[in-house]
Amino acid sequence: MDNSERRSFSDNFENTGKLHLEAFHKTQVDIGGDGVITVDLNGTVILADMVTKNNLDIFPGHLLCNHYPALWEVVQTVLKNKRAKTEIHINKGELEYTVNVRPIFAESDVIGAVCIFSPNTELEAVSRAMQSFKEFSRELSAILNATSEGLTVCDKDGVILRINPASERISNLKSGEVVGLHIADLLDARMLKQSAAARVLKHKEVVNMLEMTDDGRKIIKTGIPVFDESGELFRVVVSERDITEIDDLQRKLEEQAALSSQLQNEMVQMQQSELKSIQIIAKSPAMVKSLARALKASTSDSTVLILGESGTGKGLFADLIHQNSSRSLKPLIKINCGAIPESLIESELFGHEKGAFTGAQAAKPGYLEMADGGTLFLDEIAELPLASQVKLLRFLEDGRVTRLGATKSRSLNVRILAATHRNLEKMVADRKFRLDLFYRLNVIQLHVPPLRERRECIIFLVRHYLDLFSAKRGVKKRISNAALDILHSYSWPGNVRELVNICESMVVMSETDLLGIQDLPQRMQGTVVIEMLPAGNISLQEAMDSYERSILSNAVKEYGSQHKAAKALGVNQSTIARKLQKYKIEL
């Protein structure tokens, strides 16, 4: 070491020597017999122990870049990034060392680095591996003990190796009492009602099961087989979840799920602050978009044409537009153009004077006059006769109406909302609807999506109407997830109107508080295979009847006759006939 190196070393040690010395001694205590050095920001060795001096020829005052340039590059990276770097390998003669580099801090500033040299002997490698295994084992135990899901581990013979605290709580078992016992021992002692692990051991596949405990809790158990490299069963892991509270929380969770997008957030705000008494449930983006357009349309007096299939709720959209318009304090008059005879539609719409036609004993205002200052909703506008279309067009153009039999017209202030499930453009092409009237009505067009295109709403609609009809009858009905799945996947040709009727029918006709698949209309049950239900939901006889009904329904649909169905099921034709009559199943 020349004089300049000595002076530099002396200055550096005086300025930062205390911090280097603290880091040096602390590292020596932590690592035991490994070699340690500290270097400053210039790569000058500040401190070195006997291991590095004797085995690596590293002494205080040496420049690391001159003796171990590859290591100096790593140290520079650590100094720059302020992060430790591990597993750098260097060689000295026949010896190989693994070097760990850590930064030395003075408050938030880096003033140097500590280099730890570990010889790569077989014993050292095993020691490090054992240390890593111990750390991994501690982490795994911490995870297993912290999880809220119960976990039970068995060996390939069914002997319990471990259960975590959550499993102790869910199963009401103590680890010290069951570890080392065979699953069969617990079943024989009635400490378990049923075992997912036993089924996994038997079938060597994933098993799912629902267990009802004696205290009324519902436990879902999933048994998972673990195979070794040769494909042999090695372990069985059973996870357990207490889902007792899920029935109570399900609705809240579904409501929270509706907040997953900005559109759905806007929909909730609209329902709370703007819809008020109007019950419109919208959870799908398509429905939320239509609602947003309807609210936008409510701020003007423009004519609105509402399109959608029968039963989608076009009338509710008309209610919504009127309720949020400046005309909300004035009347909303609704007329179904298809429900009034063609001979009377003009009189009902425009009114008549006394003696205008046979039976006109007194003057009568029409729906347009009754809606003066408010809104007139013309449902099924496509059914309006061509003659009446002419008069409606004239009103839309000048705002004046003339009663039948009258000689004078009167000015009215009425906003027109119209709705139809028909294709008006095709009717115009077929000359069944006036083109000029179509343009007058189609100022703002709203499309109400069918229920099959807004499946996100189905579960909410079902729960709403079940609650509504249950409250009317003074009962409390719940619906099973299996029934909800069928309702969710159903095509709903009748849309919301069909859903409302089904909900009312289930509430009125069901004998139990839990509405299941057996309470659905027969057309929905045809392709459904009834699953075995846990005790407590329905009686055994009800479950057997539901299962038998499903088998019979599928059989007659597949084979087309009682004779063929009886032959396939291995019973007499008379038995089939009697069962079909019992369950009211038609061929």
pLDDT tens, 307-351?
999 999 999 999 999 989 999 888 888 999 988 888 888 888 888
The upper half-sphere exposure of residue 61, i.e. CA atoms within 13 Å in the direction of its Cβ, equals 11
The upper half-sphere exposure of residue 137, i.e. CA atoms within 13 Å in the direction of its Cβ, equals 6
Q: Identical fold at 3-120 and 146-244?
A: yes
User: Radius of gyration (Cα) for the chain, nearest Å?
Assistant: 40
254-449 has which fold?
A: Rossmann fold (3.40.50)
Average pLDDT over residues 485-499: 89
User: How much is the pTM?
Assistant: 0.46
Among 503, 439, 435, 495, smallest CA distance to 467 is for 503
Residue 146 has pLDDT above 80, yes or no: no
Return the DSSP state at 44.
B
Which pLDDT score, from 0 to 100, does residue 258 have?
45
Give the C-alpha distances (Å, rounded to integers) separating 517 from 48, 112, 137, 526.
79, 73, 48, 11
Would you kindly state where each structural domain of the chain is located, as residue ranges?
A: 3-120, 146-244, 254-449, 477-583
Beta strands 375-379; 332-336: pairing state: parallel
pLDDT in tens, 382-403: 999 998 899 999 999 999 998 8
Considering the four listed CATH numbers 4.10.80.40, 1.10.8.640, 3.90.1150.10, 3.30.450.20, the one that applies to the domain covering 146-244 is 3.30.450.20
Which pLDDT score, from 0 to 100, does residue 481 have?
81
Residue 5 has pLDDT above 70, yes or no: no
**What's the whole-number average pLDDT of the chain?**
82
Average pLDDT over residues 183-196: 85
Residue 162 has pLDDT above 60, yes or no: yes
Quick one: tokens of 96?
A: 């190989």
Range name among 35-44, 154-163, 468-477, 562-571 with the lowest pLDDT average: 562-571
Percent of the chain with pLDDT over 70: 85
Which pLDDT score, from 0 to 100, does residue 14 have?
56
Considering the four listed CATH numbers 3.30.450.20, 3.10.150.10, 3.40.50.20, 1.10.3470.10, the one that applies to the domain covering 3-120 is 3.30.450.20
Residue 421 has pLDDT above 90, yes or no: yes
- SS3 string, 491-538, reads CCCCHHHHHHHHHHHHHHHCCCCEECHHHCCHHHHCCCCCCCCCECCE
**Helix, strand or coil, per DSSP, at residue 545:** helix
